[in-house]
Structure 1
Amino acid sequence: MNIPVTVIGGYLGAGKTTLLNRLLAHPQGVRLAVVVNDFGSVNIDAALIANRDGETISLTNGCVCCSIGDNLALALYDLAERPDGPEHIVVEASGVADPARIAGYAASHPRLFLDGIVVVADAETVRARVHDAYVGDLVRRQLETADLIALSKTDLVDAKTVQQVQEWISVEVPDARVVTAPRAGQVADLLLSGPGGHAVLYDALPGGEHARQFMTWSFVRGGVLDGDALRTVIAALPAAVVRAKGVVRLAEAPDRRFVLQLVGRRWSLEPDHVENRDTVVPDRSVIVCIGLADQLEPERLEALFAPVSVAVVPRAVKALLQGVERP
């Protein structure tokens, strides 16, 4: 099984550790490995700690928290080689690091692949940081490399300021996908794509605060889909779609299942390497888009996805046609 890697970046004090703690507390059934620079900065709930062994803390929910140590590539390689390894790896980048450079380490093992770069930005200070003579270039570069930008500390500013920051980011980073930092219970739905994360394809997302900020739109079709048309649609999804997950069957390889993953601006559509997944119905394609509740337009998505359906020729008719010699 291939393992997705998500990089969490952002300047010092932006709120990366808070996001990680929420993720570790509510991994939504995904066996997760979180790789951090310093255990001391991650205030893991003592009730979650099952065991601590050197550079690794094992949690009661099946997740592990690992220290980068001297070599990130080696830490990732070791995780990929574990027989009981994680279903998803999250790497916390240093506050003064370029997340794109950290993301390059996802190639340190053949089983690893980059799922996305999420940059946490402090709604109260990010604009000032970008114009700072000393760190401005770094903060701007962090924002520009993000597939998804999570605005943190929105409770410290009013709604008008949050809107102004979002509009400012849309000018500074065109086509950026921006959300307010998700609360506990929401993080996994937006960030994770391990096997456990596919539950979102068949179960409604939680209500409450999550439902007020996000909404979902589902595409369900029997038979196979036009792969080229689907790839064109995915590339054209509006910025309001911040996450998409899917398990689909394509006309180009109708006997295989393909997995769609989208985080912000980054997406992939690859053959499914997990066999015997009982929760997936093999004769239908399911795609779920998670987007901002006040911006997602279901009618627009319906129109976008309309061309991907393919008329399926029954097997008996196909066999008959293949047996007829053409003149």
Structure 2
Amino acid sequence: MSEELTYEQKLNIVKELSSCYDEKDNIEICDHEKMKYIMDYKLNIDLEIIKGIFESDFKKTKIEDDDSEDDIFDTATSILNGFYEKHPFLIPFVGKNYSKAKPQYLYVLESHYLPNSSSFYELHYNKLDTEDKKNKWLKEQWYEKDFKWSNLKQFNVNNAESSEKEEIFLHREDIEYMWTESVVKNNIKYNNRFIALFENMLNIKKEEIERAVKSIAFMNYFLRPSEDTGVSIKYEYIDSLFSYLNLIRVWEALGKPYIIICSAKVRNSFKGYWEKHNTILDNSENQIPEDNLCLCNHPSNMSWKRKIDGYKNNEEKLKTFIESVENSDSKNT
């Protein structure tokens, strides 16, 4: 099978292999054209700005293992701008009514998970004992790797003993756990915990979820799944680099919407680089304005009910932000 598959062709392969996809339930709530646009969008940013944002952390990503400045820049931009082409299952969810929505919101959570049965990290990554080795492995075996869609297969419990032990690839169940579109579609119908999460994030009632989801965009910040199912990701420097730059890329591709981040781990990773970015250039097209951002904790975490930035809790902060945006938007229309 050719590696030059379109977004639709790759999407169809996942549907065909998916045990959770049922054609009779296929009531489309996505804007696939907008999602394809995100996949194709190229972020234009200078290497010196990237280095200025990340400073000494940039060397720790192991991208500088490439010889020349041109090689380093080509590697960084190639990984960033080609990421969703190689990992299309991670493309952000965009609701079918997003383009018509006023105002527009991009909701950001932390990361996907893999199933408990997955051996993706277990056979290789989990055995690495230094940051350098982990960043190098992630660069080569995750960020740069073009996963062969033709090789997706049913997970075999005996895989750890098979001749393919040294091969890095994703199984069908791995894809299903990380397929953003499917995760949103299925969980807003059947997962009460997920439904409660979206009720809090969108500040709506349960019966309004499907309508509201059609008008938003949603993504996970970190571009790879957590190492352990149900546990926060232990991100490395290379994850921080590409997650930050990718959020800017998605934000630009979506028309620079308001961003609502609901994760303490994401907030901590993002905020430091965002503040450095703001000191490098004023009014850069790549900078996300402070007025466009709301940084909260995860609604499922106990910290959701705690004080934050002068508000009695995260719920009040998010509600105040949305009300401010809505009031400002109504005055401008």
TM-score (norm 1): 0.28
More strand by proportion, 1 or 2? 1
**Which structure: larger Rg?**
1
More helix by proportion, 1 or 2? 2
